[in-house]
Amino acid sequence: MEETTYLITHEDGTERRITVPSNWKVTFGPAAKGMNTKNVGSGYKVPLALRFYENDTKQRAIFTDVVSFRDLSIKVQVKKRSTQEKRGYMECDGKKKATTFQATTEEWIDPDVLTENVALPDTADVEDFDVEFKQE
């Protein structure tokens, strides 16, 4: 039997993966059927829910406070911006001034690939550098 895995994101940022048979029906809408999420009085917000049905009448799961979900077979990339800083010195008109140089890079990454154990480069052996600017 084929299965589909979904990534579910809740309002509090919690993420879950759920794998269900591919032929199950998936619906997304107000947690209480028949309620409208717009124009609810007294500032009350109706939570959104993701439901899974084995067939038209057999609901198998409901997840509330869902803000988004997707089938993980859909490949998504996000832009990641990284800024690296390096302290150094600049000389201008004979005076040395401490400064910080920055380099910013952007790359597209797969958010589903875990990056927790990625080793950062060791910068302990990198020495400070001097830059000299001359006015002409």
pLDDT in tens, 116-133: 555 555 555 555 555 555
Q: Are residues 7 and 53 in the same domain?
A: yes
Q: Could you tell me the pTM of the whole model?
A: 0.60
Q: Are residues 51 and 99 in the same domain?
A: no
**DSSP category for residue 119:** P
How far apart, in whole angstroms, are the C-alpha atoms of residue 7 and residue 22?
14
Asked whether residue 68 carries a pLDDT value surpassing 60, the answer given is yes
Q: Are residues 63 and 106 in the same domain?
A: no
Q: Are residues 105 and 50 in the same domain?
A: no
Using an 8 Å Cβ cutoff, are 60 and 53 in contact?
A: yes
Domain membership of residue 37 as a residue range: 3-71
Q: Are residues 85 and 115 in the same domain?
A: yes
Q: What is the sign, positive or negative, of the torsion defined by CA atoms of 60, 63, 67, 70?
A: negative
Residue 20 Cα distances to 45, 60, 81, 104, 127, angstroms:
29, 10, 35, 41, 54
Q: Are residues 17 and 61 in the same domain?
A: yes
Q: Are residues 84 and 107 in the same domain?
A: yes
Q: Are residues 52 and 102 in the same domain?
A: no
How far apart, in whole angstroms, are the C-alpha atoms of residue 128 and residue 92?
17
Q: Are residues 95 and 64 in the same domain?
A: no
Q: Looking at 34, 55, 71, which one is the last position of a domain?
A: 71
pLDDT in tens, 80-104: 998 888 888 888 888 888 888 888 8
- Tokens representing residue 29 in the block: 């809408």
